[in-house]
Structure 1
Amino acid sequence: MGYADDASYEAYDDYDGGDDPRFERRRRKKRHPLRSFVAVIGVLALLGVVAIGGYAFYLQRTVSQNVEHQDLLAKENAVITISPNLTGGNQPGTEDGDPSDEGAGAPDEEAGDTSDKAADPSTGEDGEDEGVAPLVGEDGEELDYQGGEITATTPERDPRAGDALNFLIIGSDSRDLSVERGRSDVIILMHISGDRERVDLIHFPRDLFVPIAGTGGSSKINAAYSYGGAPLLVQTLQPLVNVPIDHVVITNFESFKAMTDAIGGVTVQVTEAGGGFSTGAHHMNGEQGLRFVRERYSLSQGDISRGERQMQFIKGIMNKALSVDTLTNPARVANFVDAATSNLTVDRDLQVSDMRDLGFSMRNVRGGDIHFWQGPWCGISNHPVAGSIVVMAGSQMGVLSEHLRTDSMSSYVDNVSPRSGFGGC
């Protein structure tokens, strides 16, 4: 057999060369491009994993650095102090605040905040709010309440609820919870279904007239927050819905504005004109959105209508945050996460890892899976002691409670709460 150099091996593609070392070199040379390609793909895949992991680490570090933890959820049998004192010393988990700090908790006048005023539902005229709503005794007279204590209790969890979770979301007007807790302008119970495929948001009007836990009297529901912070609000709300509240989240309006701007603004479908907004679709930035959700005096149902606006805006934020444009834009996601957590305070049991795992388990939730409700009510009236109040619909509250307890909100119906006007109980 004659000799052939390496250049002539093209003619022997089907011949493996036996033990000839020259053919072994050729076999190695022919396999090399494939090995190189596989190596490149492997490196790219590794870089992708590192990038994703690094991005996830960045987001988790951002959340960890931003989120504050406080004693917002009292354990079973824990003692809660109740006091009319509104300074930071009455905020669980903090030192006494300085009452002379005039800037703490002040309303944002530039944002159009009129929440200091109480409106007459029959005339729509604004009045002056003298402070926390008074406590009313069973005889209808004002209680001379000087403070006290209550032992925390928790409703038994119904086995039918499975892995469903209940979050109390509080929107406070305080700029610094360590100085002053402020007022709970927004009270929302978020129910997350056990299969993590549905979210129900129940808005409780801040003027809803209810028994305030541990005081022996009744008042507007946001008075519970003023008298005893988030723990007392939890103890006041839990008997109404008869479900355990698993976690508490407090945010403020600065975070609200920042979240909106971080995702490039949101489009909101305005269903009732008022406060400078006509009906129809409006694209709003954070400042405009804040004015939109705080307005109530020009709306047909006052605080009820404001709750509707808040829900409309929340839906706009969720739809934008879950959109393809946002989820495929790492910078936008990072900015949104940073903004959403910069002014966020949660209970001590809600760890960042829990938030991450819950978010991942709800990754398939979209706007159509989020449902909004008003806390059941039957009328708005002027109480001789408490002022303008929203009257609770007790029977319908029981219906809501049953659906929350059994994680069956998909079949919940509220035909009691008025859709227009001030109702009548």
Structure 2
Amino acid sequence: MSHSLPDQASPPRTRRRGRRILAVLLGLALLAVGAMGGFVLYLNNRISHIAVDDTLLPPDAAQGNDNPGTDPADGESEPLVESPGTNYLIIGSDARPGDAGRSDVIILGHVTEKRDKVYLIHFPRDLYVDIPGRGKDKINAAYAYGGGALLAKTLQNLTHVKIDHAAKIDFTGFQRMTDAVGGVRVYAEEASKESGFTIQKGWNNLNGEQALQFVRERYQLKEGDISRGRRQMAFVKALMVKTLSPGVVLNPVKLTSFINAATDNAVVSKGLTGKFLRSEAIAMRDLRGDDIVFITAPFSGYGTAPNGGAIDILDQPRMESLALALQDDKVEEYLADK
């Protein structure tokens, strides 16, 4: 019985075939890395080109960095505390015909120094407060009188903390961002009948148009603008949670659509650079839904202004407690003491 010798030519062919396969895999990997690199560069470029508005915040001297002084246009600024955390003014504008100059959503966002909590404090637009240089009026009027700078100064005088950054976005942007992430799941405290659909008490899955109606509604709600504010906070939280989910963050199509919607419909103060936003996003990458906490600025009831308008009456003692909590980066203690 004859025995054939092993084929000596076979291993080199196998090795060459293996090298070719390896080369193809490496090539595909390099293409993937290149594509991802291009995607990241695209996102960086979009973020870096968000419109900047220097008037969203007061000048540095009016923020407590120098002697406060007096601005003849909008009154005195009080001495401020730079809290360990970071404070953001977020302005939402419902830019419908005839609504010029309105700030429908006013939020003071406080990110803790450890970047482990985000507190979003909603200031009802009918809250009756002192507006620098204008006397007492609804807080919404501050934006109409002097734009973001006067609104920021009004909030700073209430809290005595410096507002570090500001952003303004119109409601169309919220609608587009909602559709970009594939809709949101929002909890409603009250039911309501909207145009073409019904909001049920409890959880609701909403697309962009439905979300827009959800945050605009107030006439069917028990506490009017206060209830609408809670709806707006619930929506903002739902959008944040959905945006931070792997289904969006790891999906280039959805993430690109979201970034496009946000950058097309937002203006920011000059400190909100692309580099800063990226570093903040990385620092807060472990945030979950329970780490985003909503607060309504304290008010003690409802009343009527001298001009006959309906107002929300500021709870001054509780406001002072909230101000101290912001200054010390201890908002959780304020909430525990409620």
**5+ residue gaps, structure 1:** 11-25, 80-146, 417-425
Q: Separation in 2 of the partners of 1:47 and 1:74? A: 47
Q: Distance in 1 between matches of 2:44 and 2:217?
A: 35
**Are 2:69 and 1:148 equivalent residues in the alignment?**
no
What code does the residue aligned with 2:57 have? L
Q: Identity, % of aligned pairs?
A: 42
Q: Which letter maps to 1:171?
A: G
Q: Is the 8 A contact 1:268 1:284 kept in 2?
A: yes
- Determine which structure has more spread, i.e. the larger CA radius of gyration: 1
The residue type equivalent to 1:296 in the other structure is R
Q: What amino acid maps onto 1:232 in structure 2?
A: L
Alpha-carbon distance between aligned partners in 2 of 1:255 and 1:411, rounded to the nearest angstrom: 34
Q: Which has the higher helix share?
A: 2
The one of 142, 147, 164 equivalent to 1:229 is 147
**Could you say what secondary structure the match of 1:51 adopts?**
helix
Q: What residue in structure 1 maps to residue 175 of structure 2?
A: 257
CA distance in 1, matches of 2:172, 2:47: 17
SS in 2 for 1:206: coil
1:209 has 2:128 as partner: yes
**Which residue does the alignment assign to 2:113?**
194
Q: Name the Cα RMSD after superposition.
A: 2.8
- Counting only pairs closer than 5 Å after superposition, residues 60-139 of structure 1 correspond to structure 2 as 60-77=44-61
Distance 1:326 1:191, change over 3 A: same
Task: Confirm or deny: 8 A CA contact 1:172 1:185 kept in the other structure.
Answer: yes
Deviations, residues 208-266 of structure 1 (Å, cap 9, x unaligned): 01100123x11101111111111111111012112110001011111111111112221
* 1:110 equivalent in structure 2: none
Say whether 1:248 aligns with 2:166: yes
8 Å Cα contact 2:86-2:113 kept in structure 1? yes
Shift of 1:152: 5.2
The aligned amino acid for 1:231 is A
Q: 1:173 and 1:182, CA in 2 relative to 1: closer, same or farther beyond 3 A? A: farther
What's 1:368 paired with? 290
1:327 and 2:249 aligned: yes
Q: Measure the CA separation in 2 of the matches of 1:261 and 1:364.
A: 24
- For 1:313, the aligned partner's letter is F
Cα distance in 1 for partners of 2:222, 2:280 equals: 38
Secondary structure of 1:218's aligned partner:
strand
The Cα of 1:412 is off from its aligned counterpart by 3.0
Aligned residues: 322
**Is the contact between residue 376 and residue 414 of structure 1 (CA under 8 Å) also seen in structure 2?**
no
Partner residue in 2 for 1:239: 157
- SS of residue in 2 equivalent to 1:300: coil
| TM-score computed with the length of structure 1 as normaliser | 0.69
Q: Which residue of 2 aligns with 1:296?
A: 218
Please name the residue that 2:66 is paired with: none
> What letter matches 2:234 in structure 1?
Q
Aligned equivalents of 1:414, 1:220: Cα separation in 2: 28
TM-score, normalization: structure 2?
Answer: 0.85
**Match for 2:201 among 271, 276, 279?**
279
